[in-house]
Amino acid sequence: MQKIATVVTVVVGLLVAGIAPASANVRPVKGDTGAGISVSVTSVSGGSGGGSGGRPCTYQRANVPGDPSTELAVTPDMAPNPGTQEGAWYFYECQDPRAPLGVRSGAIFVPAGAPAVPPAVLAQEASRFLAAPAPGIQLNPPAGADHLVNLESWLWVDASTWGRRSATASVPNESASVVATPVSVTWIMGDGSRVVCRGPGTPYDPNRSPDSQHTDCSHTYRRSSASQPGERYTVSATSTWALTWTATGLVVASGTLPPLLRTSTTTLRVAEAQTVN
């Protein structure tokens, strides 16, 4: 018997028939609903950290005539709307280290002319894999050195924890890419002050003269940390990542998701200037 290999690596858009704009139909995603959705973490810019944890899937059309290896018994209870939808069943196998045998397998119904999974749900699934890191806190004076009252402390975050990340979730005939863009860092300085920086901040270069350098992201302490626990201020930095998504395939759509917040903390000592030689 002739066997027809029909393993379909999902390259979304290949099977596009009649691209039509659509409004996003956002439905809440509960639990582990990602079965059968392929996810790749696709890009990192401006840093070395980032992309990991994708879940590539392969799909194979079921019940291909003449190929018993694709046989799938279908009952009306299996279809979303029994008897009312044209479409095809696919076996899927998704790589997932948490799953038995490292593979999560199942069957997915792909209706004709409509995505198997709504674009907004794909986008939400993709966002789960975004490797948006917590900010790497950098300060001047540097870690271990005292900050001084009335002297500007520079604040910035590691370049590796800044820069766009994206992830793409796919099912046959539809794909949604989510881009996470860091937009700001909110610093809670521990003395009651809050500093919002519209960017990663400027690294201080100890090899250049202080007068030749400038930053828009800084804080000047007015009181020492002597009265604080451990005589140190606790400083937190929260980066805000804006999420936008675009879907292509049978449905073209776009939208936004709630921003991601990532927080790091550290402590620092602020000394009175006159106590330092």
Measure the CA–CA gap between 123 and 205, rounded to whole angstroms. 40
| Binding to another protein, residues 26-55 (CB under 8 A) | 30-33, 35-37
Is there binding between residue 258 and another protein (CB under 8 A)?
A: no
Is there binding between residue 66 and another protein (CB under 8 A)?
A: no
Among 12, 39, 41, 117, binds another protein (CB under 8 A): 117
| Binding to another protein, residues 140-179 (CB under 8 A) | 171
Q: Are 181 and 241 in contact (CB under 8 A)?
A: yes
CB 59, min distance to another protein, A: 11
Measure the CA–CA gap between 130 and 124, rounded to whole angstroms. 10
Among 24, 116, 132, 197, binds another protein (CB under 8 A): 116
Measure the CA–CA gap between 122 and 257, rounded to whole angstroms. 12
Nearer to another protein, 8 or 103 (CB): 103
Measure the CA–CA gap between 261 and 197, rounded to whole angstroms. 14
Measure the CA–CA gap between 172 and 9, rounded to whole angstroms. 9
As given in the structure block, the two tokens for residue 193 are 């002050």
Is there binding between residue 68 and another protein (CB under 8 A)?
A: yes
As given in the structure block, the two tokens for residue 76 are 């009306």
Residues that bind another protein (rule: CB under 8 A) add up to a total of 36
Among 2, 18, 66, 77, binds another protein (CB under 8 A): 77
Binding site for another protein (CB under 8 A): 30-33, 35-37, 68-69, 71-75, 77-80, 89, 91-93, 98-103, 105-109, 116-117, 171
